[in-house]
């Protein structure tokens, strides 16, 4: 049984969020909901390998966004950006407990043009309507959600490998700022 069952947060595009499925019954519910793609946040364990193979056998695409908040240097913003770039109609976003998926859903609505406050309220109201516990948003997470409203927030962050490649090609030089001096 799901810790947090799938909740449809956007009925037009059929976007769902939930916690990680715990058993085959949960995965059958994913199929029953007509979900065509699953975006998984988290470290890949043997249980998630089983889930990935089971879903792929049923014709459901699986995208894994590896996230290890203890050891990962990437900010949560870039992880959520990667996940949101993989969304299409009929997608379920899930993580172990459901919190990262809930934050990603709020960022999704900011991307659609809502204010951060409206996005938080919309996701919370959808969760409450389905009688699913709402996970409290910390001030840092609220700041992250509001950062998605800033111009250029949807640009993919440049990676260190891309910087090295551009420097090697001599097509690009970083601007001189205090951190480069």
* pLDDT score of 181: 42
Q: Do residues 130 and 2 make contact, with C-beta atoms less than 8 angstroms apart?
A: no
> pLDDT digits over 109-152, tens only?
998 889 999 999 999 999 999 888 888 888 888 888 888 887 76
Q: What is the pLDDT, as a whole number, of residue 180?
A: 46
By the 8 A CB rule, do 123 and 9 touch?
Answer: yes
Q: What's the pLDDT score for residue 119? A: 93
List the chain domain ranges.
7-156
Residues 94, 17: contact at Cβ < 8 Å?
yes
80's CB contacts (< 8 A; 6+ apart) are 100, 103, 104, 107, 144
- The answer to whether 132 and 101 have CB atoms below 8 angstroms apart is no
Question: Given its phi and psi angles, is residue 15 left (phi above 0), alpha (psi -120 to 50 degrees) or beta?
Answer: beta
Which CATH code of 3.90.190.10, 3.40.1190.10, 3.40.50.970, 3.10.310.30 fits the domain covering 7-156? 3.90.190.10
- All residues at 6 or more sequence positions from 19 whose CB lies less than 8 Å from its CB, including other chains: 2, 3, 4, 94, 95, 96, 97, 98, 101
Q: What is the dihedral of CA 68, 109, 90, 155, to 10 degrees?
A: -60
CA atoms within 13 A on the CB side of 99: 10
The answer to pTM > 0.85 is no
pLDDT tens digits for range 7-18: 899 989 999 998
Alpha helices in the chain (DSSP H): 24-32, 46-57, 76-85, 99-111, 116-129, 139-147, 160-169
Percent of the chain at pLDDT above 90? 22
């Amino acid at each position: 049984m799901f810790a947090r069952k799938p909740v449809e947060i956007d009925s037009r595009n059929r976007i769902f969020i939930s916690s990680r499925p715990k058993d085959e019954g949960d995965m059958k519910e994913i199929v029953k909901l007509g979900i065509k793609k699953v975006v998984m946040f988290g470290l890949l364990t043997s249980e998630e390998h089983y889930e990935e193979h089971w879903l792929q056998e049923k014709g459901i695409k699986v995208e894994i966004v590896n996230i290890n908040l203890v050891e990962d240097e990437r900010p949560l913003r870039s992880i959520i950006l990667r996940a949101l770039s993989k969304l299409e109609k009929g997608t379920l976003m899930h993580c172990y407990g459901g919190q990262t998926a809930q934050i990603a859903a709020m960022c999704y609505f900011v991307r659609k043009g809502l204010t951060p406050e409206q996005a938080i309220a919309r996701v919370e109201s959808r969760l409450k309507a389905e009688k699913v516990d709402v996970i409290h948003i910390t001030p840092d997470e609220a700041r992250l959600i509001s950062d998605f409203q800033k111009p250029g927030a949807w640009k993919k962050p440049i990676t260190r490998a891309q910087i090295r490649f551009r420097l090697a090609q001599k097509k690009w030089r970083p601007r001189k700022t205090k951190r480069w001096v």
